[in-house]
Chains A and B, each alone.
Chain A
Amino acid sequence: DGGITQSPKYLFRKEGQNVTLSCEQNLNHDAMYWYRQDPGQGLRLIYYSQIVNDFQKGDIAEGYSVSREKKESFPLTVTSAQKNPTAFYLCASSISHGTNTEAFFGQGTRLTVV
């Protein structure tokens, strides 16, 4: 079955440590996205990638980094520079980055900094 997979579902991190969230898709989609969701709020774009080896900053990229070495994979690293990293992180993909593009989401990773 085609889909988009995020792992792990729950992640605990000590303050000052970097952590990498995994996102893999087998939908053959060109575009991939990382969003952050805080309680009672909408989704805020961290980074997006339209094609392999290319990615762009979203609205809240500070303290995060990404790579897109393969079409299927778009990992997100939450660095120690991110001041408030505890949140629900959602990865999504779409056929292309443009109009009328339905986004397919992974099940999310809930990151807690302890």
Chain B
Amino acid sequence: EAQVTQNPRYLITVTGKKLTVTCSQNMNHEYMSWYRQDPGLGLRQIYYSMNVEVTDKGDVPEGYKVSRKEKRNFPLILESPSPNQTSLYFCASSLSWDRASYEQYFGPGTRLTVT
């Protein structure tokens, strides 16, 4: 089944403790992206990747890191999480970065709470 998977689905952590949220897709997609969803703000893009080893900042990149060493994986790293990073995070992928008409497929989401 074609899908985007994220792990963990739920995470409660403390301020400053490094964490990684994994994202993997099995559709051989070039483009991958991370979003955060907050009430009343919709989805905002954190980082995106147009292909392996090519990443760029989205609208709200502060406090996050990403890497794209393999085409299928796009982990989101929080080196020193803070309470304002408490949010619902979505990973998404699309066939190609240069064809905006291609549908983005979303993972199920990761609910992160930082205390």
Q: Do A and B come from one complex?
A: no
